[in-house]
Amino acid sequence: MRAPDHPVMSKGDVLLAVENVSLGFGGVRALTDVSFDIRKSEIRAIIGPNGAGKTSMLNCINGFYYPTEGRITFKGVKRPKMRPYVAARGGIARTFQNVALFKSMSTLDNIMAGRSIKMHSNFFWQLFRHGPAMKEEVEHRRFVEEIIDFLEIQHIRKTPVGRLPYGLQKRVELGRALAMEPELLLLDEPMAGMNLEEKEDMSRFILEVNQQYGTTIALIEHDMGVVMDLSDRVVVLEYGRKIADGTPAEVKNDQRVIDAYLGVAH
């Protein structure tokens, strides 16, 4: 699904680079001069206290916001101002902090919706669900079924997602993002509000997506145990600025990070 004009990337190359990015809303500065990179096939965590600008960062990456200053390059190409669906076609998929699914649609239909950007047959055939549209749908359905199998949600295939418990909705949302076969998957607090068992399941899925499909993952998460276990590298934000960047072990022992999380006597 990679556009032919992009260079083929291998593990460890810089997939996405954030360079001196600042973002302001009127007088409020959400991000100030943030730089870091995300390498191919790694799990990159973005952490920080509440209001540190993590979600704003994610929004910049997937094209929902456009940085006031600085630039973001994805696969060596500077990101122009774009609409999120263009970003999605470019290979960036995301899940949301508050689940954003079609509540009255089934699990299957929600994930199929994620697949729609891959569908090419024209409106006429799709309307009659015939000819090339049918063939295409069968192929996509198969792919979606593999995701359903992968995420172990066969039993809710036909259940409207609005009736599902939160943990499962999160899983469906991940499924929809996976249906886009993204190169970069952005997960905004994938484990918020989950119990321990659900967190373990979700961690397993994230690791498997990363290992099995080589998908690069950037995630925001508050559960430090999860972050330390899952991620290869961690970037820490505080008040819109980057205060640390490195392996989980390095970050954990960084004085500035400790201060940011535990507070410091002035």
Shortest distance, position 208 Cβ to other proteins, whole Å = 6
Which CB sits closer to other proteins, 82 or 134?
Answer: 134
Shortest distance, position 158 Cβ to other proteins, whole Å = 8
Which CB sits closer to other proteins, 37 or 145?
Answer: 145
Check if the beta carbon of residue 38 is closer than 8 Å to that of residue 15.
Answer: yes
Shortest distance, position 173 Cβ to other proteins, whole Å = 19
Shortest distance, position 184 Cβ to other proteins, whole Å = 21
Beta pairing partners, 184 = 92, 216
| DSSP 3-state of 208 | helix
Which CB sits closer to other proteins, 56 or 110?
Answer: 110
Q: What residue type is assigned to position 74 of the chain?
A: F
Q: Where are the alpha helices (DSSP H) in 50-184?
A: 54-61, 84-89, 107-115, 123-128, 131-150, 166-179
Check if the beta carbon of residue 65 is closer than 8 Å to that of residue 57.
Answer: no
Residues in contact with other proteins by CB under 8 A are 141-142, 145-146, 148-150, 152, 154-155, 157, 204, 208, 211-212
Check if the beta carbon of residue 96 is closer than 8 Å to that of residue 170.
Answer: no
Which CB sits closer to other proteins, 69 or 208?
Answer: 208
Which CB sits closer to other proteins, 64 or 150?
Answer: 150
Shortest distance, position 146 Cβ to other proteins, whole Å = 6
Q: CA 175 to CA 49: how far, in whole Å? A: 28
Q: What residue type is assigned to position 200 of the chain?
A: E
Which CB sits closer to other proteins, 157 or 252?
Answer: 157
Contacts of 22 (CB under 8 A, 6+ apart): 29, 31, 32, 33, 34, 67, 68, 69, 70
Shortest distance, position 228 Cβ to other proteins, whole Å = 20
